[in-house]
Amino acid sequence: MAATVTIQSGATWQEVAADRQKHRDATLAIVEPPLPDTLPDIPLHTIPIAKAILSVEEIQITESTVEDLVPGLAKGEISSVKVVAAFLRRAVLAQKATNCITEVLSPQALERAKYLDEYLAKNGKPAGPLHGIPISVKEHVGMKDLDHNAGFVGWVGALAPADAHILQILWKAGAVFYARTTQPQCLMHLETSSNLYGVTTNPFNTTLTPGGSSGGEGALVGFRGSCLGIGTDIGGSIRSPAGNCGVYGMKPTSGRLPIGGLKACGAGEEQIVPSIGPLSTSLEGCKLFIKTIIDSKPWYREPSLLPFPWKEEEFFKSKRLKIAVLWDDGVVKPQPPVTRALKQVVEKLKAKSNVEVVEWKPYKHDLAWEIIANLYFCDGGAEQSAAIATSNEQWLPLSDHILKNKYVENHSIASLYQATIRREVYRMEYANLWNSTATSTGPNGEPEGMVDVILGPVGPGCAPKIGTAKWWGYTSQWNLLDYPGLVFPVDKVDTSKDAAKETHTPRNELDKENWDFWEQNGAEGYKDAPLSLQLIGRRYEDEKIVQALEIIQQETGLPFVTYT
Amino acid sequence: MAATVTIQSGATWQEVAADRQKHRDATLAIVEPPLPDTLPDIPLHTIPIAKAILSVEEIQITESTVEDLVPGLAKGEISSVKVVAAFLRRAVLAQKATNCITEVLSPQALERAKYLDEYLAKNGKPAGPLHGIPISVKEHVGMKDLDHNAGFVGWVGALAPADAHILQILWKAGAVFYARTTQPQCLMHLETSSNLYGVTTNPFNTTLTPGGSSGGEGALVGFRGSCLGIGTDIGGSIRSPAGNCGVYGMKPTSGRLPIGGLKACGAGEEQIVPSIGPLSTSLEGCKLFIKTIIDSKPWYREPSLLPFPWKEEEFFKSKRLKIAVLWDDGVVKPQPPVTRALKQVVEKLKAKSNVEVVEWKPYKHDLAWEIIANLYFCDGGAEQSAAIATSNEQWLPLSDHILKNKYVENHSIASLYQATIRREVYRMEYANLWNSTATSTGPNGEPEGMVDVILGPVGPGCAPKIGTAKWWGYTSQWNLLDYPGLVFPVDKVDTSKDAAKETHTPRNELDKENWDFWEQNGAEGYKDAPLSLQLIGRRYEDEKIVQALEIIQQETGLPFVTYT
């Protein structure tokens, strides 16, 4: 049902926001068995809330991974109704702890779960590879007849005309959609604040951001209110929240997973194409998600997609995995705990005979930022400005930061072409950089023995203090190049291990600011923040980075800490 | 060496053109043994000229296909010098007959051929899969230090800084580049006329156009002055000349073959992406060309390309080939000989048990033309207009036709996005149309048992009278959809078979004009014009259309006539 309190119906933006929150709370209130209305004392590290309130069985279910749940659901050893109900309850707590939910879909999800349980009982086989699995969904992804506002107050009241293509596929595969999650104003922050729902916080330390723009997903999956969620990424929006919240997140190469049915400004823009992808408590969860979608041959229905099957060949059966380490992008130096986490992993890998570790020398990542920041809003941000103006809602500081930065330009066709050429030239140069790691030449002149993956930070620090996530370079770099990226949990900020002081001479404003944050807050200020890393592959080598991470995890025993 | 007579040096456009022609003639004059300066009487059908002047051995060589020549060259049974020399001489005759050449590269090509002969003698193996094969190249494709003018007088004097990527690959594969061929003003005609070189004519009937924009290639390959040439196609520019000149031509899906190093207006434009591809006297020639390039993994060097290997799986080993016949696009009805050729093929195919023939109902091909014509020149043609204005050369009528048609728009970013969305919606609708031919649903919800290929005309007639090629829809349709297209020879216009009159009530201006041309000129006016057809596959199904044509040729004995 369409929201009736909207800008179009004459409401103020404050009234619209209040009504959306009221709607959200109403959906939370009907989750059974009911949960305490408010939690008296929300600790900085919120996970214990769930432990204190949920039943042992609910905790056990919600702390299971996708691959833990799939076989039992497929055999009927556990009912989808029970699984969904447990995740619904934990999602309600996640909302109370971190403000990550826009609505839960309790009746619909339980009805769907019941249908699937009955289907299994009747047919003796699961409905699909994701039979009975609950999936949480960023609000960006359209659900038929539900609000689709792209984080703008002025767009509330518009309903998605149909389920997004990806949801249709997952539905056929047996999934259950049970929760929708927050996104920032205009969808272009690496945090998650909007005038509709306020600030989403990090479940491991509520003074920190969960990241964004899929920050609702990050917080929910980090809190274990979801084992599998859907995010989108055009500058880091899957990887930043996954990294900040200690979960796995994958941004596939564009054109591999269907993006039909998303809503944001910039429809028709093709200079920088967004990716959709999973956030999950396991790598296997990400992989099953992607493979299930690709197996449905989505390119037949969405012809902008590439008809690659999910490659099952083993890339590292008869060759070593060659990893290049990116310690620092040369623009903003990572804060010490990030480097510590990276060092830990690299040292373990160096001792392995099936892995080769080399250094990656970054190539003009500052220029890369100029190019992509210039291409995000080719109309100079006019569309976003108009969307904000519709409701007279205030510009949030991080909207200002990205939409009004010095590289944004109101392009003519001629300048757009020039900017596109700049992007292509940079892509070519980066490809040649990668080619230059070859150790031999193949029979047809192709480079061989190259670096397989780049291992590096997800951002210039762990989860930033709220309002301070400004340097996109560690993630947007790979959107500009359209390389796939996979984020995975490694460690946490530790007040003893991360206590030592380190000096650094700032290179620029952003670098200074980033280092100062660490100096000022120290390990205590970022206590318990997950430390994550990112694996990058060449364009379309999505399968390779998944296999590489499987090897890395196997060889190093990652992650080094637990998160629940 | 750069041209010295240029607009920039103060010459008039007429002087620049005269100097370019002088340069061309000088390159022709040094081909050995020398050919008659002028041919006294050029017949309408020019092929006999070659027969009358060349030696038996030269005729035999130049009428060989790529697959005829490759094994002998690889084993040293015939020298590359001999092969290249024969094609050089026939190319000179092709120029005299049809005006298709901008320069021949006699010394460089013979030196290269000599090197390859010596390489083989010394190493006992060929330099690559195209060892010693002469390849002709449309001027659009850059050759290091040679003029690169995109058909504009004002651009003469600019040299290509390097060989185009595709030439570098072919070079490594052992090819010999020996001739550069004509292109029309601004590269956007389905004919080949420029103020630099004048009009290129059709070798089978010089009152007709060879098509365009790769019309120099069409005429040269049709004349057998080349067995393999390189063209480019954004609206039909490979397929129209191939079809008009009775040879094979393939426009692969965009992103499969490298386009780095081409020169034209619109660099940085991505709404409609050009393809590069082969024109050849054989299907096998086209296939070897494409496969050789893809085998070199060009995506490593040109990251806009897709990393698909050339698929070797046999698509029709255990299933019938399902062909849908497009008789008429619903906008401009094909002239009777085209329909006769299509009928002949369809009737033969219907009798075959391994082929299923159904009808294809075209979907809004008029709208498709509106969309693509609007997206060709997103700046309203400003770049082309400026390039023409540089020299004060005259606008050719077919430049007017395409650049000043009613769908061209000087886009803002906002209207460009809207136009791009229109393109995507149309592509989606066409994909769904194709999906609707499915006979079942696969295990993951994907459509199965669909039409494999569409068989239809290459244009609304055979080769048009010079100056009359106006309806692009039969080829541009598949550029809009980015579907691969493969053109192949079937028959020729025959003054007895095509004598019958047929009535048709015109649907629109263009349809009337097209039909009137046939009424007015009759079979006599188009005498000996090749009749060709086009096979279309879904996006990225390039391999499938090649295999489909192999089956079609096998089953029907195509072509039904000889062309030499």
pLDDT tens string A74-114? 999 999 999 999 999 999 999 999 999 999 999 999 999 99
A432: nearest CA in chain B? B301
- Is the CB of residue A382 less than 8 Å away from at least one CB of chain B? yes
Chain B residue with Cα closest to A292: B444
Closest CA–CA distance from residue B343 to any residue of chain A (Å): 30
**B377 shares contact with chain A (CB less than 8 Å):** no
Q: How far is CA B478 from CA A169, A303, A412, B256, B290, in A?
A: 28, 13, 28, 15, 19
Residue type, B426: Y
Task: Return the SS3 of B137.
Answer: strand
The alpha-carbon gap from B402 to the nearest alpha carbon of chain A, in Å, equals 19
Averages of pLDDT over each 10 residues, chain B, 564 residues: 94 98 98 88 94 97 98 98 98 98 98 98 98 98 97 98 98 98 98 98 98 98 98 98 98 98 96 98 98 98 96 95 98 98 98 98 98 98 98 98 97 98 98 98 93 98 98 98 98 96 95 97 97 98 98 97 95
Helices (H), B377-462: 382-391, 397-403, 413-435
The closest CB to that of B413, out of A416, A444, A447, belongs to A416
| Among candidate residues A168, A55, A179, the one with its CA nearest the CA of residue A109 | A179
Nearest by CB: A427 against B303, B418, B435: B303
- The reported pLDDT for the residue numbered B38 is 78
Chain B nearest-CA residue for A483: B303
Task: Please state the domain count of chain A.
Answer: 2
A213 is catalytic: yes
pLDDT for residue A261: 97
| pTM greater than 0.90 | yes
Rounded CA-CA distance A344/A339 in Å is 9
Give me the helix-helix angle, A283-295 and A542-556, nearest 10°: 160
Q: Would the CB atoms of A300 and B435 count as touching at under 8 Å?
A: yes
* Cα A175 to Cα A169: distance, rounded to the nearest angstrom: 9
Residue B444 to residue A301, Cβ atoms within 8 A: no
B436 and B502 in a single domain? The answer is yes
Neighbours of A268 (CB within 10 A): 18
Mark yes or no for CB contact A417/B444 under 8 Å. Answer: no
Q: Given B271, B296, B416, which is nearest A446 (Cβ)?
A: B296
CA dist., res. B170 & res. B175, Å (int): 6
Cβ contacts below 8 Å, chain A against chain B, sum to: 133
A269 touches chain B (CB under 8 A): yes
Separation in Å, CA A57 to CA A82, A163, A282, B348? 10, 32, 20, 69
Give the residue from A255, A253, A189 showing the smallest Cα distance to A218: A189
B268 touches chain A (CB under 8 A): yes
How far is the alpha carbon of A302 from chain B, nearest alpha carbon, in Å?
A: 6
Would you say B83 and B225 are in contact if contact means Cβ atoms under 8 Å apart? no
Amino acid at B515: W
A328 and A233 share one domain: no
Taking only residues 458 to 517 of chain B, the set having a beta carbon closer than 8 angstroms to any beta carbon of chain A reads 481-482
Residue B55 located in a structural domain: yes
Among the listed residues B123, B125, B159, B119, the one whose alpha carbon sits nearest the alpha carbon of residue B139 = B159
Task: Tell me if A296 and B444 make a contact (CB, 8 A cut-off).
Answer: yes
| Chain B contact for A309 (CB, 8 A cutoff) | no
Phi/psi for A556 (5° steps) reads: -115, -10
Judge whether B4 lies within some domain.
no
Q: Is A325 found in the same domain as A275?
A: no
Task: Tell me: ipTM over 0.95.
Answer: yes
Residue B441 domain flag:
yes
Q: What pLDDT band is residue A40 in, cutting at 50, 70 and 90? A: confident
Q: Closest Cα to residue A291, out of A192, A173, A205, A443?
A: A173
Distance between CA atoms of residues B112 and A475, nearest Å: 48
Residues A309, A239, A528: CA angle, nearest 5 degrees: 140
User: DSSP label at A31?
Assistant: S
pLDDT of B404 reads 97
In 10 A of CB B150, how many CB atoms? 22
- Write out the binding residues of A: 187, 213, 234-237
Beta-sheet pairing, B485-492 with B530-536:
antiparallel
The parent domain of residue A395 ranges over 321-556
| Angle between helix A80-98 and helix A66-75 axes, rounded to 10 deg | 150
CB A235 within 8 Å of CB A344: no
**Phi/psi of residue A177, each to 5°?**
-95, 125
A307 to B540: CB separation less than 8 angstroms, yes or no: yes
B205 DSSP β-pair partners: B202
Q: Tokens representing B51? A: 């027969």
Say whether B251 sits in a helix, a strand or coil: strand
For residue B420, the chain A residues in CB contact (below 8 A) are 268-270
Dist CA A369 CA A408 (whole Å): 11
Are both A339 and A207 inside the same structural domain?
Answer: no
What distance in Å separates residue A21's CA from the closest CA in chain B? 33
Please check whether residue A447 touches B, CB under 8 A: yes
**Residues 158-217, chain A: which have Cβ within 8 Å of B?**
169, 172-173
Taking residue A343's Cβ as centre, other Cβ atoms within 10 Å add up to 12
Q: Do A420 and B445 touch (CB under 8 A)?
A: no
Query: Is A173 in Cβ contact with B303 (below 8 Å)?
Result: no
Q: Is B300 on the interface with A (CB under 8 A)?
A: yes
What long-range pairs does B123-129 form, CB within 8 A, spacing at least 24? B125/B74, B126/B73, B126/B74, B126/B174, B127/B172, B127/B173, B127/B174, B128/A444, B128/B172, B128/B173, B128/B174, B128/B175, B128/B292, B129/B70, B129/B173, B129/B174, B129/B288, B129/B292, B129/B295
Is B43 part of any domain? yes
- Quick one: B451 exposed, middle or buried, by C-beta within 10 A (0-12, 13-18, 19+)? buried
Q: Chain B residues with CB inside 8 Å of A379's CB?
A: 412-414
Maximum Cα–Cα distance for chain B, whole Å?
69
CA distances from A424 to A15, A353, B261, B334 (A): 46, 37, 13, 41
CB distance A219 to A101 below 8 Å: no
- Do the beta carbons of residue A250 and residue A290 sit within 8 Å? yes
Residue among B461, B487, B483, B486 at smallest CA distance from B472: B461
Does B309 map to a domain? no
Instruction: Indicate whether A344 and A293 sit together in one domain.
Output: no
Query: How many angstroms from the chain centroid is the CA of residue B148?
Result: 19
Assess whether A295 and A346 both reside in one domain: no
At B92, list the tokens.
Answer: 């000179």
Residues across chain B: 564
Which tens digits make up the pLDDT trace of A520-537? 999 999 999 999 999 999
Q: How many CB atoms lie within 10 A of CB A29?
A: 13
Q: Distance between CA B241 and CA B218 in Å, rounded?
A: 5
Residue among A198, A152, A199, A195 nearest A14 (CA): A195
| Amino acid in the structure at residue A36 | P
Q: Residue B338 corresponds to which tokens in the numbers above? A: 């085209």
Q: Kindly state whether B306 is in contact with chain A, defined as any CB-CB distance less than 8 angstroms.
A: yes
DSSP, collapsed to helix, strand or coil, labels residue A143 as: coil
Q: Is there a single domain that holds both residue A108 and residue A210? A: yes
**Whole-number Å distance between alpha carbons of B411 and B418:** 10
Contact B168, B174 (CB under 8 A): no
User: Is A430 in the B-facing interface, judged by CB distances under 8 Å?
Assistant: yes
Is some CB atom of chain B closer than 8 A to the CB atom of A301? Answer: yes
Q: Is residue A562, in this structure, part of any structural domain at all? A: no
CB contact under 8 Å between A417 and B539, yes or no, is no
- Catalytic site positions of B: 138, 213, 237
What distance in Å separates residue B422's CA from the closest CA in chain A? 9
User: What are the tokens at B128?
Assistant: 């690559």
Report pLDDT for A1. Answer: 75
pLDDT band at residue A513 using 50, 70 and 90 as cut-offs = very high
Q: Do B419 and A445 touch (CB under 8 A)?
A: no
Mutate to test the interface with B, among A256, A417, A480 (most CBs of B within 10 A): A417
Chain A residues in contact with B295 by the CB 8 A cut-off are: 444
CA closest to A441 among chain B residues: B296
Distance from the Cα of residue A253 to its chain's centroid: 14
Region for residue B373 given its phi and psi (left: phi exceeds 0; alpha: psi -120 to 50; beta: otherwise): alpha
A359 pairs with which residues across the strands? A325
Tokens at A89, concatenated: 């309850």
Task: Test B379 with A413 for CB contact under 8 angstroms.
Answer: yes
Q: Same domain, yes or no, for B25 and B165?
A: yes
Is residue B561 in a domain?
no
DSSP state, residue B186:
G
Q: Are residues B237 and B369 part of one domain? A: no
Residue ranges of A 90-119 with Cβ closer than 8 A to chain B:
none
* DSSP code string of B360-395: -----HHHHHHHHHHHH-TBTTHHHHHHHHHHTPPP
Instruction: Please confirm, yes or no, whether A194 is among the known catalytic residues.
Output: no
Partner residue facing B424 (CB), from A297, A304, A481: A304
The token pair that represents B406 in the structure block: 């009613």
**CATH number of the domain residue B375 falls in:** 3.90.1300.10
What does the block give as tokens for A336? 């010490």
B125 interface with A at CB cutoff 8 Å? no
Chain B residues touching A413 at Cβ < 8 A: 378-379, 382, 410-411, 413, 416
Residue A189 in domain: yes
- Catalytic one among A194, A214, A237, A282? A237
Which chain A residues are Cβ-neighbours of B410 within 8 angstroms?
A: 413
- A312-366 per-position pLDDT tens digit: 999 999 999 999 999 999 999 999 999 999 999 999 999 999 999 999 999 999 9
For chain A, say whether B429 makes contact (Cβ under 8 Å): no
In the annotated binding site of A for substrate, the residues are 187, 213, 234-237
Split at pLDDT 50, 70, 90, the class of A39 is confident
Q: Which of B296, B411, B428 sits opposite A303 (nearest CB)?
A: B428
Query: Which tokens belong to A271?
Result: 């200079």
Residues A101/A223, Cβ–Cβ less than 8 Å: no
Distance CA B493, CA B499 (A): 10
Kindly report the average pLDDT of chain A as a whole number.
Answer: 97
Task: Please indicate if any CB of chain B lies within 8 Å of the CB of A305.
Answer: no
- Same domain for A119 and A152, yes or no, is yes
- Residues B252 and B137 occupy one common structural domain: yes
Same domain, B226 and B370: no
A428 interfaces chain B, CB cutoff of 8 Å: yes
Specify the residue for token string 């090897």: A551
Measured in angstroms, the CA of A481 and the nearest CA of chain B are apart by 9
